Structure 1
Amino acid sequence: MRICLSAIGALGVLVVVPRLAGAADCPSFVDPIVLNGSSAAEPLVIAMAKVLAAQPSPTTLVYAKPGSCVGVTSVQEDATPGGACALGACITGTVEYFDPVANAVTTCTLTAATHVDVGLSDVWVDTCTGAQPKAGVKDTSGPVEPMLFVVPKASQQLAITAEEAYLVFAFGSASQAKPWTVETNLAIRNPTSGTEQVIAHNINLPAGRWKGMDKGGSGGVVTAVSISTAPESTLGILGSDVYDANRDKLSALAFQAFHQKGAFYADSTATSFDKRNVRDGHYVNWGYLHMITRLDATGAMNANAKRFTDWVTGATGTPSPFGDVTDVIIQAKMVPTCAMKVSRASEGGAISPFAPAADCGAKFEAAVPH
């Protein structure tokens, strides 16, 4: 759906599982694959983790979510993946995993520095580092992640333009871009966040120069926006997969990009889940889930990294524990690339026509609510 801003302008099936909080030291994981980075990737990681935990020979996805660019760094700087941890490589502290006995996502504390198999990023490596991946580092693109501006359910706001978003987040309380002029009610992330980076490239405001309150992760944004007592002046940013699981608390704004003549929801309407405007190029705030991995001297990934990237891309040479991985991607509220009609080759770059080798657009449309 397109919205005419001259009429309303402001300037003018995710698997739901219980969570067990825990600060205890981590157990000995069964066949662990260590993931680090994007918090927006959490719905996909959880959906995959539940399937893997139920296999006859289970695998445990051990997941930390400090932000996309932290995930990139933890792999890029890991020059000795079989040895000591270099500065910026490896992870310690809080991670989460799916515990099949408790049937819950559980957190625990990694006390020893642990090498990362796959860095998960919502953005290309050069968005984080200013340079192409280092020698021995591979960036594999996965499903598409739309990024959204979100407001409390009680808000009357329907859309935002790129110009408005630039003013709001560049100048905060001084922006005069009503109603979003209360800086403490702007729920943002930080320069390591792929969500902020994707949107930053589409409103021409570098991440890190934003006004607002860093909420530390997607969950923090959901909480801050949904419980706000000032719904009209509250504005946040989220991955659409996280938003789709919280539509009872939040509303997404239509977005009018620079040079567009109207605003578009990521979906065809405010209430559908079809991501039609993302898939055909009308909604521009989107990127790919990138899987960042190390390569050995022969150009091969380690076995854990290869298993995970093959599962997500559907490139497995043997039967996958997920059957058709597009089912899991759709369940996690992401868009499989085979459902896309457009592509892009850089952050916020030009959108080009795309014809997948095996089009799953009809399957995607049939699987999501309308």
Structure 2
Amino acid sequence: MKPVLKQLSATLKGAGSSIRLIYQSTASCNGLSEVATQTGDKTSGSYWDDAGTELKCDVDTTAGHIPDIGLSDVYASTCDGVTVPATGFKDFHGPVQVMTFVAPPSSRESSISAEAASVVYGFGGTGTVVTPWSDKTALFQRPDTSGTRRMIGKAIGLQISKWNGTEKSGSGDVLSAVHTADATNPNGGLGILAADYADTNRAGTQSAVKILAFQPKGSSCALLPDSSSTSFDKVNVRSGKYTIWGALHLLTKVDGAGVPTNPNVKTVINYFTREGLDAAAKKTMIDTEVAAHTIPWCAMNVKRDGEVGDVQSVAYQPEEPCGCYFESKAQGTAPSTCKACTADTECGGSNKCRYGYCEAR
């Protein structure tokens, strides 16, 4: 989420706010735990100056500087040992994030099933083997507190303590390792990455990897998150057909009405929930979230209430749909089915002109 936070810092400054965002990098479950227990174990962080340059800073946790917001890829219930008090805290949701399996760019493999992935990472190439993923040193994973590993673990039915493979501390390390495996074991290399890293490093880039189509349990075919390996439209995520996705979670302290107790925190979270924002600020946040390879909720057609659970049986209808605008930003052009507009009267019926395109409501 660092690119989103960087842009949000600039947006806050442009709106005349004195709020300064400080980002402390840690695994999802740790971020939730520190807010839920009101403790902090990180003494350094990053922030952005007025020119957008990332700078480092020291945080004195002994002076009571406890994190205000816990960012996570997963629900607290997905984390071991993380209990959020029943009152006094709330989990707000940001944009949808997508998790993927990736292989070296010249790998012959194009897909992986939930069952195969469970065996590959459950046995780590020892004993029961799924060809070609038989070399533990070429199977890369994240620590057990990682939201990426935990969400994917839910999707493939593999307990977090049962994972095998070569553990890498960060997503950048997994990316580098999978890319490097292209020269030593291209067909046996496998890793797990969120779409921000995977999309930014597809074939043709310096640290290229290949996103594998995923076949969930009970499904007859595997699908990519997008309509093709060269697309960024996330149509299969937005329709619920690609299953490894979930909202960004923002945990913070709230009052009895569910409102953040810190007014600065409320201001920041409002940018993610869009509460009280004008059209220009909403558009800026959509642009920012799309640029970070996440999906604004206004572009989604399904919703779920649990970790990699069933999508709601009734299609999700955002209050202010932005599917056409999302694709115009993610793909560079809107689908031919989208009608450009400048006013509601050009759309007909109950359709509305939103962000330059006619939407269904």
Smaller-chain TM-score bracket: 0.7 to 0.9
Q: Percent identity?
A: 35
Are positions 1:268 and 2:232 aligned together? no
Are positions 1:355 and 2:317 aligned together? yes
Partner of 1:216: 169
Structure 1 residue 321: Cα displacement: 5.4
Q: How does 1:96-245 map to 2 (within 5 A)?
A: 96-101=46-51, 103-113=52-62, 114-129=65-80, 133-134=84-85, 135-174=87-126, 175-228=128-181, 229-245=184-200
Structure 1 residue 208: Cα displacement: 3.1
Task: Tell me the SS of whatever aligns to 2:8.
Answer: helix
* Structure 2: gaps spanning 5 or more residues: 333-361
- Given residue 107 of structure 1, which amino acid in structure 2 is its aligned partner? K
Higher strand share: 1
TM-score, with structure 1 as normaliser: 0.80
CA distance in 2, matches of 1:320, 1:61: 21
* Structure 1: gaps spanning 5 or more residues: 1-40, 79-88
Task: Tell me the SS of whatever aligns to 1:264.
Answer: coil
Q: How does 1:1-370 map to 2 (within 5 A)?
A: 41-52=1-12, 56-57=16-17, 59-78=19-38, 89-101=39-51, 103-113=52-62, 114-129=65-80, 133-134=84-85, 135-174=87-126, 175-228=128-181, 229-247=184-202, 248=205, 249-296=208-255, 299-301=258-260, 302-316=262-276, 323-352=283-312, 353-369=315-331
Asked if the contact 1:92–1:109 (Cα under 8 Å) also holds between the matched residues in 2, the reply is no
> Larger Rg: 1 or 2?
2
TM-score, with structure 2 as normaliser: 0.82
Asked if the contact 1:274–1:368 (Cα under 8 Å) also holds between the matched residues in 2, the reply is yes
Structure 1 residue 159: Cα displacement: 0.6
Number of matched residues?
319
TM-superposition CA deviations, 1:161-212 (whole Å, max 9, x none):
1011000010002231111111121221122111111111110002232111
Greater RCO, 1 or 2 (C-alpha within 8 Å, sep 6+): 1
- Given residue 199 of structure 1, which amino acid in structure 2 is its aligned partner? I
Asked if the contact 1:133–1:139 (Cα under 8 Å) also holds between the matched residues in 2, the reply is no
TM-superposition CA deviations, 1:319-340 (whole Å, max 9, x none):
8756542122112211011111
Task: Tell me the SS of whatever aligns to 1:305.
Answer: helix
Structure 1 residue 227: Cα displacement: 2.1
Partner of 1:16: none
Structure 1 residue 308: Cα displacement: 1.4
Higher helix share: 2
Task: Tell me the SS of whatever aligns to 1:312.
Answer: helix
Structure 1 residue 53: Cα displacement: 5.1
Pick closer, same or farther for the CA change 1:112–1:105 going to 2, 3 Å. same
